[in-house]
Structure formats: C-alpha cells, structure tokens
A and B are shown apart, each in its own frame.
Chain A
Amino acid sequence: AQSVSQHNHHVILSEAASLELGCNYSYGGTVNLFWYVQYPGQHLQLLLKYFSGDPLVKGIKGFEAEFIKSKFSFNLRKPSVQWSDTAEYFCAVNEGGSYIPTFGRGTSLIVHP
C-alpha cells in the first residue's frame, strides 16, 4: 500500500529563517502531489499541488515545492518564514487515477517572532 513519510514531525524556526519540509512517498507510478496547511484552530487548506509539467511548483504565501521523481520526494520550501506560518503541514499523495489521497502524519511548524 502507498505510504507517505514526513520526516520532520516538529520544526521550530525563527522569523526570516529558511524552511524545508521533507515528504517522501512509496508509489512508483504516476502521482498527484499536494501540500495542505492547517493554521491553529482552522481547517486544512491547499497550499500547492503538482499534477504534471514543471516539477517546481509555486503556491500561496511564498511557498514552493519540488517534485523529484527519482527520489520519490516532494519537499516544501520557503526562503524566509514569518510568524504567521506557524501551522501544521501535511503532504498528500494520490496514486495513479485514484481520488483518495494518502496523507503524511504532518509536520508542526512553530515560528518564533
């Protein structure tokens, strides 16, 4: 079965630091890749997604992610984080033509002002 690994469970950064959150998946075929964000007390919302084309995807609020097929990875990056980026971040993968995503366990990011 498909699995999605987010290696960093808790990340603490100071404002202006750079961020990279890892996401690896196990499926070898075509995938759709997503990063969702959950701000404190709120529901999950889409940050960015990759379906095909340019493997470097840009999302909202200055986030980007790079799909590296050979590494089965879809890491999330932001060059300079803000206090308002404090949230939980979830990577999700749909394998093949499936409508059902497999979610990673999430990474809790705390940004100190």
Chain B
Amino acid sequence: DAEITQSPRHKITETGRQVTLACHQTWNHNNMFWYRQDLGHGLRLIHYSYGVQDTNKGEVSDGYSVSRSNTEDLPLTLESAASSQTSVYFCASSESRDRTQYFGPGTRLLVL
C-alpha cells in the first residue's frame, strides 16, 4: 500500500543546532507539503512543492528550508533551531487531480 512516512518520530535538540526532518511518500504525488501543528493555531503551512526542483514558501517559512530532488522526498531543515520551533510537524502529499491531502504520522520536535 502507498504511504507517507516521516522520520524521526520524536526529536530533542538544542537551540542553534541544524535539524533535518525526513518525509518520504510512495503515492507518486507531485505535490508535497510541510505543516506545523500548535495548540490554538491548527495547521500552518511551512513550505510546499509542486514537483522536482520546485519549492515555495508558506505562511510560516522563516527559519525553515526544503529541497526536492526527487518525487518521493521533501526533507525539512531547520537552519538554526529555536525554542519557538518546538512543535509537531506533519508532511503531506496530494495529486493534482484530487486535492485530498495524505498525511504522514508526524514528528514531535522539542528544542531546548
């Protein structure tokens, strides 16, 4: 069965460190997204990609970057982790014909 996986599932890091969260999908979807989920804010879009070599900023992109070198993967990098980036991060993908989002299991990140 097609799926979307994220790793690690839990991460503790220190302020100032670079952190990369992995996202891998086997749906063969063109569109991939990164969200953060915080209490009281719901889901907020960080970055998204419509295909290989395409990346775009979302509403809360400061301090984050992504790269898309193939269809399956969209890693999210926190350049210099800050305590404000403590959150749960969800990766999602969708195909162009059907805008339904398929979500990964999430990564819980704690920045100390």
Which among B12-20, B39-47, B75-83 touches the partner chain?
B39-47
Q: Mark B82-112, 1 if CB is under 8 A from A, else 0.
A: 0000000010101010011101111000000
Q: In this assembly, does A84 line the interface, its C-beta being within 8 Å of a C-beta of chain B?
A: no
Task: List chain A residues, Cβ under 8 A from B90.
Answer: 43-44
Interface size grouping (class) on chain B: 20 to 34
For the complex formed, measure the closest distance between the CB of B79 and the CB atoms of chain A, giving whole angstroms. Answer: 23
CB of A43 within 8 A of CB of B106, answer yes
Contact with A along B21-48 (1 / 0, CB 8 A): 0000000000101010000111111001
Question: Interface of chain B, helix or strand or loop or mixed?
Answer: strand
Interface size in chain A (residues, C-beta < 8 A): 19
Determine the chain A residues whose CB is within 8 A of the CB of B43 once the complex forms: 44, 90, 103, 106
Seen from chain B, the residues whose Cβ lies within 8 Å of a Cβ on chain A are 31, 33, 35, 40-45, 48, 50, 58, 90, 92, 94, 96, 99-101, 103-106
**Chain A residues within 8 Å of B, Cβ to Cβ:** 32, 34, 36, 42-46, 49, 90, 92, 94, 99-101, 103-106
Q: Which 6 A-B pairs have the closest CB atoms?
A: A105-B42, A103-B43, A43-B103, A44-B103, A43-B105, A106-B42
